[in-house]
Structure 1
Amino acid sequence: MVRSGYPQAFGAGIVCNAGTLGILIPPSIVMVVYAAATEQSVGKLFMAGVIPGIMLGLVLMIAIYIVARIKKLPALPRASFREWLRSAREAFWGLLLMVIILGGIYTGMFTPTEAAAVAAVYAGFVALFVYKDLTIRECPKVLLESGKLTIMLMFIIANAMLFAHVLTTEQIPQQITAWVVELGLQPWQFLLVVNIVLLVAGAFMEPSAIILILAPILFPIAMQLGIDPIHLGIIMVVNMEIGLITPPVGLNLFVTSAVTGMPLTAVIRAAMPWLMLLLSFLMIITYIPAVSMALPNWLGMS
């Protein structure tokens, strides 16, 4: 983007925010973690994330287009139909991964856990023999790095599950649920509190850890208030998205700073306008359940 004439701060803000879409558009690890913590359907969560993910992507694209026109930023030449076809052909094998995962889960060919294994094998095959981004010699290093990441995630999950077990044993979720019900909170008020809590937590903690710690507490309260657990899951995922670009420890802020070489404070300033856009989108997702539930309901997923 910088080589094309876009200001560095503008490009950094876009990349930082667009990078959050990965946990909303399936397949999403955060959704799998929520499903495991609340015993909900992974497939239904994936389907519930499709429309919000596409909608958020479109909102960001429209906002970027408007800002670019206002600031009179340079525009690249319109791609020809042949260039479109060439790009589609090059991206085909990568896009097919999503079809395999979602299609396999939805048709019952394999479970979400098995889908992860299938995806890993397929991605490895494509990287080695189709795109050739990876060589056989590099495989041990890739496996080692994958192992390190897996160990880290498993450590977080193990401790979070232990925490959830303690909560359940002490009946803390039930006590909190009873307390909230006694307060007489309306569903919209409860969801507002949930968003505030998650936004604060997202600024300091890793998404999977937040889900594993807070989902067992929030889930029974939401059920008591008549809030669909799948809708609650999407709300939590969108909050986790925002947490990725919220200082002081938003992961995407640090990654963008490292990649662009910009100071962290400059990246934060560049991301803030887009953060406001994500907060507005969060309100839509929170108070219009149909956005999340339309596709699962249409597919008859119960």
Structure 2
Amino acid sequence: MTTAILFGSFAVLLLAGVPIGIALGAASLLAIAYIPFLGFDFYALGLVSGINSFTLIAVVLFTLAGSVMSRGGISRRLIAVAEAFFGNAPGGLGTVTIMACLFFAAISGTGSATVAAIGLAMIPALARRGYDRAYAGAMVASAGALGVMIPPSVVMIIYAVTAQVSVSALFLAGIIPGIVIAIALILYNIYQTRKGGWEAKGVAATWRQRWQAVNQAKLALLMPLVVLGGIYGGIVTPTESSAVAVVYALLVSTLVYKELSWRELGTIMLQSALLVSAVLVIIGASVAFGRIIALERIPLELSRFVLGITDNWIVVLLAILVLLLIIGTFLETLAAIVILTPVLLPMVTQLGIDPIHFGVIMIVALAIGFVTPPLGANLFMASQVGGIPFDDLVKRIFKWVLVMTAALLVISFWPDLSLILPRLFLGYGS
């Protein structure tokens, strides 16, 4: 009965349009009221302990760093580098756009920031080159999902905290799968440009022009090396690296590029604080929600039920992928991770699936929800920055979703794509 109250009230509140954090909290309180030996202080303790984490500071600071970089001229220089090297590649400016999203993903940590920073410049440029505007918006929205797959990633930090795994190992594990997704998107764009008769290639840049583009963007390109190099060099922790990212972004944007004034910083900090505060409410409420799930032994019972039907890990993993793809269409990714990880992780580990590999699978699957209606956060962002009717984007997005899903299957059933770098650099699993 407690389980029915917990999940039933949560579903009803979501359908009624109640914000996710409040829905989680209200459902938890209703369940606690039904359990005779629990008091409401159980919820308060869960709420406080959920956000009382040193690692979560990285979520706040990486979000701030991404906002600073998107306003400080860094994205424009990364686009110039992508166009210099890939402007003459098959797929033309579409390939440039996806590579620019890949570059920006390596420094932003979020999908929405990637869509905003790259889409603002690239969607109009793609339209001028003959691309269908809705197609261009759908491409940017899809490639923007790389923001949570390529480290440093806010979503990866949340999974690492929830699953109690190494942030550093998860960061490394996301690199190759993120590149696989980018390659799949590029190949689909090449096919579509040839089929649609859009431009196939741009003007080839000389090596001198490429060097100039790299030279102008060298400080932006160095940022992933500074942040990730500090982590894997043992100089800073992942949390400390987020502070390094903020300082680096501020110095480059204000003192070197001089495209961000100190007056704007207050507004950027306020916007970042509002965004992060909503995330922290969800995390705190989810911890109390998760404790009730554990108290009711839902993960154990679910594992017994599923494994009683089949112990074939392939069948189970396919079922989980379907579940994640469906949930990603209507539930915000961070909330989905903190709710589902305690439920699904015990089951998949019993089947021998590595928790780091499962983290990558979960993040990629839920990231596809960024571009899938009705939630589709990246679609809404692309619609706004590109001036494209949302309905037009929806009509164009489903083939991109199929391409990303096919790449997800490759990532899911080829664990070495995720685990080879953590094993190589961190000795993970040895």
The C-alpha deviation readout for 1:259-282, integer Å capped at 9, x for no partner, is 222211100112121111001111
The one of 68, 81, 97 equivalent to 2:193 is 68
- Structure 1 residues 166-216: Cα deviation after superposition (integer angstroms, max 9, x where no partner): 222333222222222222331111111111111111000111110000011
Structure number with higher relative contact order (C-alpha < 8 Å, ≥ 6 residues apart): 1
TM-score by length of 1: 0.95
Q: What pairs up with 1:174-253 in 2 under 5 angstroms?
A: 174-253=300-379
The CA distance in 2 between the partners of 1:282 and 1:158, in whole Å, is 30
> In terms of mean alpha carbon deviation, does 186-195 or 256-265 score higher?
256-265
Number of the residue aligned with 2:213: 87
Query: Within 5 Å, which residues of 2 pair with 1:158-173?
Result: 158-173=284-299
Give the corresponding residue for 2:428: 301
1:23 to 136, 148, 157: 148
CA distance in 2, matches of 1:57, 1:186: 30
Determine the C-alpha separation between the residues in 1 that align with 2:297 and 2:413. 29
Secondary structure of the structure 2 residue equivalent to 1:98: helix
| Aligned equivalent of 1:51 | 176
Query: d(CA) in 2 for partners of 1:245 and 1:61?
Result: 17
Q: 2:402 aligns with which of 276, 280, 287?
A: 276
The answer for the alignment partner of 2:245 in structure 1 is 119
Q: Using the TM superposition, name which of 58-67 and 233-242 deviates more.
A: 58-67
Do the aligned residues in 1 keep the contact of 2:379 with 2:393 (CA within 8 Å)? yes
Partner in structure 2 of residue 9 of structure 1: 134
Match of residue 154 from structure 1: 280
- 1:232 CA displacement: 0.5
Deviations 1:96-146 (A, max 9, x none): 221122112222222221111111121111111122221011111111111
User: What 5-or-longer segments of structure 1 have no aligned partner?
Assistant: none
Taking only aligned residues, the RMSD between alpha carbons, in angstroms, comes to 1.4
Whether contact under 8 Å (2:173, 2:420) holds in the other structure is yes
Whole-angstrom CA distance in 2 between matches of 1:181 and 1:6: 49
C-alpha separation between the residues in 1 aligned to 2:297 and 2:247?
42
Q: CA deviation at 1:288?
A: 1.4
CA distance in 2, matches of 1:13, 1:145: 26
Contact kept? 2:328, 2:370, Cα under 8 Å: yes
CA–CA separation in structure 2 for the residues paired with 1:183 and 1:244: 32
1:4 deviates by 2.2
Is the CA contact (8 Å cut-off) linking 2:286 and 2:338 kept in structure 1? yes
Whole-Å Cα distance in 2 between the matches of residues 210 and 66 of structure 1? 33
1:130 aligns with 2:217: no
Task: Specify the code of the residue in structure 2 equivalent to 1:100.
Answer: V
**Which residue is equivalent to 1:42?**
167
Unaligned runs of 5+ in 2: 1-125
Deviates more, 1:61-70 or 1:257-266: 61-70
Structure 1 counterpart SS, 2:340: helix
CA distance in 2, matches of 1:130, 1:59: 36
* Residues in 2 aligned to 1:204 and 1:25: alpha-carbon distance in whole angstroms: 23
Does residue 142 of structure 1 match 2:268?
A: yes
Q: How many pairs align?
A: 302
1:102 is the counterpart of 2:228? yes
| Matching residue's letter, 2:292 | V
Give the AA of the match of 2:141.
Answer: C
In structure 1, the partner of 2:34 is none
Larger of the two Rg values belongs to structure: 2
Give % identity: 38
How far apart are 1:157 and its partner, in Å?
Answer: 0.9
Q: In structure 2, what is the Cα distance between the partners aligned to 1:79 and 1:146?
A: 37
What is the letter of the counterpart of residue 286 of structure 1? S
SS of match in other structure, 2:428: coil
Read off the aligned partner of 2:374 and give its amino acid letter: P
